[in-house]
Structure 1
Amino acid sequence: MDGLHIGILGAGIVGMTTALELQREFPKAHLTIIADSFNQNTTSHGAAGIFRPSTNFCGPTEKVTSQWIRDSWNYYDELRQSEEAADAGVSSISGYCFSSISPDIVRNHFLEQVVPVYRAVTREELDAFPGNWQYGSFYTTVLTESPKFLPWAARRFLHSSGKIIKKHITSFSDIASDFDIVVNCLGLGAKYLCSDNKLVPIRGQIIKVRAPWIKTFLYAELDTYIIPTSNDVTLGGCRQYESYAMAPSKYDHAAILERCTSLVPNLKSAAVLRDWVGLRPHRSTVRVEPEVIQTQAGKLKVVHNYGHGGYGVTSAPGTAKHAVKLVKDLHAAGVHSSKL
């Protein structure tokens, strides 16, 4: 493996966790991250970072999807218990999910399989919050703050002899001669690089406020959520399918504030720090699969790892582990093998 050159496209949380997993599996390989956006310019940076996969989050099979979630949970929980936890921005957090419509809305089969605490709430807990709440769950999960995690991951990657290059990739031909294998973690950028019309943005807008008295997370209907982190509290949100608008909307801002302050009235006194908009790279089935692409420079072995939607932080370590296995298989098969 000494002479193996691997390129990782993208420096969001999917790209960074994939790069670290590649270093672990191929310690003697030459690894390079190539991206045109880093840290605060990535979609990952604005994510609240709570480990909470949607029940409709989907890989190629239910078995694979469950494995991604378990692997991701184990990765973050192990990091949470390590000496690196504070630098990596990984911590434990507990909170509530409420509904006035159906008990199914507050159940999550992915979470119930991995988190240490997951239970139905009491009537007293429901009544403690404004609203006609009839159903609820309380659970403990992990929180990964990308503003800390992304720089931490980059430091680890560089410390282990990785390279990071700022470059915009418009075609696999741009880099085909530089690498033996490329892992595509470009998120929404993969829509254009791969001409993948199944990949669409789901626009999200959030508000960051200063409210240090908020210690637990809260989820409610109409995509309402309140998630405290070490430096601020995230108020959300919205999910606008196939919207490319990056400017904050005053109407979304007002709607988010109204829903969140209705749930927790003392948030009315919280100082608003900023609005943030991100385009989640949604694909009905997250794409983690190998491909051999014919480029101007010859055949290029590629492993795709994109389309995580709003669950990139939640699922990145699991899909990274899967992608690295595919890299190992591709390398073992050889670019001229009939298996490809």
Structure 2
Amino acid sequence: MTEAELKKFPQHVFGQAFTTLKCECPAYLPWLEKRIKGSGGWILTRRIEDLWELHPSFDVVVNCSGLGSRQLAGDSKIFPVRGQVLQVQAPWVEHFIRDGSGLTYIYPGTSHVTLGGTRQKGDWNLSPDAENSREILSRCCALEPSLHRAYNIREKVGLRPYRPGLRLQTELLARDGRRLPVVHHYGHGSGGISVHWGTALEAARLVSECVHALRTPAPKSKL
């Protein structure tokens, strides 16, 4: 950023300005679902307690259950990082603003401006916290004072599925002589939308390997 641009942020001594893309999930996810159905895929809504409940109806399972993998995959390494944001009407805000730590951000979108945020490790609370909201608004107003005029303020809370490292691997479950290939694909944390296309391609490759293995006859032993 130029010195003139930095004058807008007197509490900072360095800044970067760039053009990027923003994914609007309320529009993007239905588009992905439409692609799945258009390719012959089915969308089934069902609650399961064990991955084995999907056998033998499905030959290969892709586990994208996020925090649900604590139970379904017995993975104690995955934990929630609670995020709370505000969605406000401030149509005059046209540029993204994010501080150095990434904890405070202002993201304008097609229907509202998102103000954030929080990173609360191990917190499962899905109810909005009034003090969090006050802190978020205060921090964002420090970056963009015009947000004091924002209206129609709504609180949103979500849980990010964090893990020390993304789990993207194949596991062959075995029980009573039965086998169930599972491709684990979870633990993206707050970066899911940023990296999902690339990790999905890798997950698809692993599924192809599982399908190939299922179709390949096991070698017969020779005595």
Which TM-score bucket, shorter chain as reference? Answer: over 0.9
Report how many residues are paired: 217
> Aligned letter for 2:36?
F
Alpha-carbon offset, residue 297 of structure 1: 8.0
Deviations 1:166-186 (A, max 9, x none): 111210111011111111111
Per the alignment, residue 178 of structure 1 pairs with: 57
> Aligned letter for 2:7?
D
Change in 2 beyond 3 A, CA 1:178/1:134 = same
Alpha-carbon offset, residue 253 of structure 1: 0.3
Change in 2 beyond 3 A, CA 1:294/1:264 = same
Counterparts in 2 of 1:185-264, with a 5 A limit? 185-221=64-100, 223-264=103-144
Alpha-carbon offset, residue 151 of structure 1: 1.1
Are 2:217 and 1:331 equivalent residues in the alignment?
no
> Aligned letter for 2:109?
T
> In 1, Cα distance between the equivalents of 2:151 and 2:199?
37
> In 1, Cα distance between the equivalents of 2:153 and 2:38?
34
C-alpha RMSD over aligned residues: 1.7
Q: Secondary structure at the match of 1:203?
A: strand
> Of 158, 165, 170, which residue of structure 2 is paired with 1:278?
158
Alpha-carbon offset, residue 295 of structure 1: 4.1
Q: Secondary structure at the match of 1:253?
A: helix
> In 2, Cα distance between the equivalents of 1:122 and 1:296?
67
Counterparts in 2 of 1:262-301, with a 5 A limit? 262-295=142-175, 298-301=178-181
Counterparts in 2 of 1:1-340, with a 5 A limit? 121-129=1-9, 131-221=10-100, 223-295=103-175, 298-334=178-214
Alpha-carbon offset, residue 273 of structure 1: 3.4
Q: Percent identity?
A: 38
Q: Secondary structure at the match of 2:155?
A: strand
Q: Which has the higher contact order (CA 8 A, sep 6+)?
A: 1
Question: TM-score by structure 1 length?
Answer: 0.61
> In 2, Cα distance between the equivalents of 1:193 and 1:278?
20
Alpha-carbon offset, residue 334 of structure 1: 3.0
Question: TM-score by structure 2 length?
Answer: 0.92
Change in 2 beyond 3 A, CA 1:334/1:236 = same
> Aligned letter for 1:132?
Q
Give the number of the structure whose alpha-carbon radius of gyration is greater: 2
Q: Return the structure number with greater strand share.
A: 1
Alpha-carbon offset, residue 221 of structure 1: 4.3
Q: Secondary structure at the match of 1:227?
A: strand
Gaps of 5+ in 1: 1-120
> In 2, Cα distance between the equivalents of 1:295 and 1:193?
15
